[in-house]
Structure 1
Amino acid sequence: MKVIILGAGVVGTASAWYLAKLGHEVTVIDRQPGPGLETSFANAGQVSPGYSTPWAGPALPRLALKWMLQRNHSPLVVRKRFDLAMFRFMEQVLKNCNAHAYDINKSRMLRVAEYSRDCLDALREETGLTYDDRQRGLIQLFRTNKQIDKARHDMKLLSDSAIPHALLNVDQILAREPGLSHARHLLKGGLYLPGDQSGDAHIFTQRLAKMAAALGVKFQYDTVVKGVDAAADEVMSIRTSAGHVRGDAYIVSMGSYSPLLLKPLGIRLPVYPVKGYSLTLPLTDETHAPLSTVNDETYKVAITRLGNRIRVGGTAELTGYSMRLSPDRREGLELSFSELFGGGDLSAAHYWAGLRPCTPDGTPVIGGVSGFKNLWLNTGHGTLGWTMACGSGRLIADLVHGRKPDIPALDLSLDRYH
């Protein structure tokens, strides 16, 4: 079967790899000159199934109001603009802000993320692929007792999903991350997730693309996807800046741009861009740096060790498709890093922003599209594209191939919104 994949980010590239392994003829189309150059380029670097949590929860309305009124270093910013898509997204998020929906959504996310971590482990063992990776777990850092109390509910869901975890006191945190020693006075406790990992998603995507090309996958770069031509119940071709591209099956993995492509077909995909920021800085002091990866729950900032670099990522900004680098967002990242670690050169940091393709319930959209027998979606992974990439890639490959997936997939498709 000839399969056309739209998007060469970490999710699209992983999809191409698994389809090629099943013997399919695969072409990947992307507007960039290489793979992994947009949202996959400088994300937080965490492969964190244990931290797979929907934003939409019972406490979000209160927290969101507090954050929007917070003048400095707020984890959430909503830029003033008239945007019907943004208002619709916010409305759908609020509908998921109840305990019942939260438990369902988190369980779905954990299912995909755990499976994906296992697929990544198998791929690394099979190929020997390296990407500044570490398998040393993640610690979610709590600065208040309220944060610990909230984490206890998540710990129950982790237990229900048989995911290893432990609530650590401050001494136990410092034993695992001694670089936090000078920040002892700021910490109350932490949730340790030993199965979580870290690594550079951009390096991973580039190296996996090379291996996929060796299997016969064709990567068509510098090619803009302009539209989808469809007739009756199937897609006929993809209109691109290089002409029409035809295949037997088509997979949309264009992140935040997926709904714009599908809208002319009458397909309403509830994905909205939520901009996140990161700093990548050179390591200068091993004694004040993470050994693995930690999440600062107060500022919603992730700090990850990537070889001789440190990645500091986080914040959520609703501002449409704007890629403007906001100075105030940088200040929040620098503050969290400076308070907790400090062993890196912030003056030499590379400041970056990417658009996370978020769904209202936090779960990605993976599966076919009702009304189109050869159109598939693998998008909407939000902040967890790196975490869920391999599992999502293998899942969509199995579905397109007609093989029963290893995990339940019916509730991951677009149909769950209808």
Structure 2
Amino acid sequence: MKVVVLGAGVTGITSAWFLQQAGHDVTVVDRQPGAGLETSYANGGQISVSHAEPWANPGAPLKVLKWLMREDAPLLFRLRTDWNQWRWGLQFLRECTPARTRHNIRQIVNLGLYSRAQLRALRQRTGLQYDQLTHGILHFYTSEQEFEAAQEPARVMREHGCELDMKTPDECIAIEPALAQCRDRIVGGSMTPSDESGDAHLFTQRLAALCEAEGVRFLYQTRVLGFERAGDEVHGVRTATREGVVQTLRADAYVLCLGSFSPAFARELGVRLDIYPAKGYSVTLPVTSPEHSYNVSLTDDEYKLVFSRLGDRLRIAGTAELNGYSTELNLTRCEAIVRRTRELFPLMTDGQGAQYWTGLRPATPSNLPYIGRSRVRNVFLNTGHGTLGWTHSCGSGAAMADIVSGRVPEVDYAFTGVDARRGELLQPA
């Protein structure tokens, strides 16, 4: 089939790769001059199956209230006169029950394990290099309350196949000696030895180059204007080049991978997606003191920050701000990341040479992405991955290739428009 993939972020590129490998004729459309230049550009760099506890959990409502007026809060709802934000917030609260949290953890773990396996198979097949490290991910806790609260989610993750072991402070330092700089703060940790890290932007660009070598066509600097629809099918997608040339691309199937901008285009087709942009921040620092710098990828659970080593760079990313579609840098939030990093690793960096970045993560209330067939017969969804876009990208791409090809993916996940129990794709409503 001829397939048009809308979006050249990490999920768009992995979708294109697996669709091409499945024998389809693939075209990718993106408004940027290259792949991975928006949300995938400077993320936290983790392939983190262990990051499976959703934002919406029983402890979240009180935390959100506590953080409401803090400019540097890990999760900041900046309340607006925006019905989409309020509706998203109400859906978020519905997902905070213990039962919904357990269900969502299971889905996130299942997809994460499958996706990590697909990434490893892709890397083995292609030899793709992207500053990857396979040292695992160590979550560390500086709050007894947070450490205790992590025990039940960790149990649920282990129950569903996530290799996760709780660690004492001394065991944490044995795994990553750089943590000795904050030994008096650490109360415990958890280690997932099978998790990985690397440069998602480099991965996306290099996989895009492999896609092109395999025959995938790329239309960069091309905006998506809308769809031409007849009945329950889309007959074309209208696009415009940088020069203003308007053309209609026609295909048998269309895959929506437009991140936070997906809801607007889906709405045109009568499809409602509960996705809201969660602005995330990252800081990239040069390695100036190798002997005091971390090598194992880390997660600071209390402050919701992740730390990854990307060659001679240190990437620290995290926090989420629900404040519409603005990508303006909030220096207070950037400086809070640097301040926390210097508190934890005073010998590692003085904060000089910091490069700040912000991007819009496409967040769903449950943290579960939309992957599968939409209500429109030949429009497919691969969007809404939130903070786990790279972690879930290869699994999402592989599953998308199966679904477009008329097959049910092998992973146990609540795919959109797929009844895994009956082993069939559902017809559009």
TM-score bucket (shorter structure): over 0.9
Which residue identity does 1:129 align to in structure 2? L
Query: Partner of 2:356 in structure 1?
Result: 351
1:55 is the counterpart of 2:55: yes
Which residue identity does 2:256 align to in structure 1? V
RMSD over aligned CA atoms reads 1.4
Give the distance between the partners of 2:280 and 2:73, measured in 1 at CA.
12
Shift in alpha-carbon separation, 1:324–1:72, aligned structure 2, 3 A: closer
Shift in alpha-carbon separation, 1:74–1:414, aligned structure 2, 3 A: farther
1:257 is the counterpart of 2:261: yes
Which residue identity does 2:268 align to in structure 1? P
Which residue identity does 2:19 align to in structure 1? L
Which residue identity does 2:63 align to in structure 1? L
Query: Partner of 1:321 in structure 2?
Result: 325
Pairwise CA distance, 1:415:
8.5
SS at structure 2 position matched to 1:52: coil
Query: Partner of 1:177 in structure 2?
Result: 176
Query: Partner of 1:29 in structure 2?
Result: 29
Shift in alpha-carbon separation, 1:414–1:73, aligned structure 2, 3 A: farther
Pairwise CA distance, 1:250:
0.3
SS at structure 2 position matched to 1:240: strand
Which of residues 409, 412, 417 in structure 1 aligns to 2:415?
412
For the 8 Å contact 1:167–1:192, the answer to whether it is kept is yes
SS at structure 2 position matched to 1:50: coil
Query: Partner of 1:150 in structure 2?
Result: 149
Which residue identity does 1:19 align to in structure 2? L
1:335-376 deviations in Å (ceiling 9; x for gaps): 221112242462211100000001111111000012x21110
Pairwise CA distance, 1:81:
2.2
Pairwise CA distance, 1:406:
1.6
1:48-96 deviations in Å (ceiling 9; x for gaps): 0111221111111111101114x35311222242111100100100011
Pairwise CA distance, 1:403:
2.4
Give the distance between the partners of 1:23 and 1:414, measured in 2 at CA.
22
Query: Partner of 2:67 in structure 1?
Result: 67
Pairwise CA distance, 1:404:
3.0
Give the distance between the partners of 2:364 and 2:153, measured in 1 at CA.
20
Query: Partner of 2:41 in structure 1?
Result: 41
1:114-143 deviations in Å (ceiling 9; x for gaps): 100000011111111010000111111111
1:212 is the counterpart of 2:217: no
For the 8 Å contact 1:290–1:341, the answer to whether it is kept is no
Instruction: Structure 1: state its 5+ residue gaps.
Output: none
Query: Partner of 1:399 in structure 2?
Result: 403
For the 8 Å contact 2:139–2:299, the answer to whether it is kept is yes
For the 8 Å contact 2:283–2:355, the answer to whether it is kept is yes
Give the distance between the partners of 1:413 and 1:208, measured in 2 at CA.
26
For the 8 Å contact 2:334–2:356, the answer to whether it is kept is yes
For the 8 Å contact 1:277–1:351, the answer to whether it is kept is yes
TM-score calculated relative to the size of structure 2: 0.94
Give the distance between the partners of 1:254 and 1:29, measured in 2 at CA.
10
Matches within 5 A, 1:137-286: 137-241=136-240, 242-286=246-290
1:364 is the counterpart of 2:378: no
Which residue identity does 1:384 align to in structure 2? L
Which residue identity does 2:255 align to in structure 1? I
For the 8 Å contact 1:168–1:189, the answer to whether it is kept is yes
| Identical-residue share of aligned pairs (%) | 44
1:117 is the counterpart of 2:120: no
Q: Which deviates more, 331-340 or 393-402? A: 331-340
1:8-44 deviations in Å (ceiling 9; x for gaps): 0000000000111111100000000000000000000
For the 8 Å contact 1:269–1:414, the answer to whether it is kept is no
Give the distance between the partners of 1:12 and 1:23, measured in 2 at CA.
17
Give the distance between the partners of 2:319 and 2:26, measured in 1 at CA.
36
Pairwise CA distance, 1:156:
1.2
Indicate the structure with greater helix content.
1
Query: Partner of 2:377 in structure 1?
Result: 373
Give the distance between the partners of 1:282 and 1:226, measured in 2 at CA.
40
SS at structure 2 position matched to 1:174: helix
1:257-307 deviations in Å (ceiling 9; x for gaps): 000111122211111100000011111111221112111112111111111
TM-score calculated relative to the size of structure 1: 0.97
1:184-217 deviations in Å (ceiling 9; x for gaps): 0111010111111100000000000000111100
SS at structure 1 position matched to 2:229: strand
1:383 is the counterpart of 2:387: yes
Which residue identity does 1:132 align to in structure 2? D
Which residue identity does 1:349 align to in structure 2? A
For the 8 Å contact 1:284–1:345, the answer to whether it is kept is no
Give the distance between the partners of 2:238 and 2:350, measured in 1 at CA.
45
Query: Partner of 1:19 in structure 2?
Result: 19
Pairwise CA distance, 1:182:
1.5
For the 8 Å contact 1:282–1:309, the answer to whether it is kept is yes
Give the distance between the partners of 1:252 and 1:158, measured in 2 at CA.
30
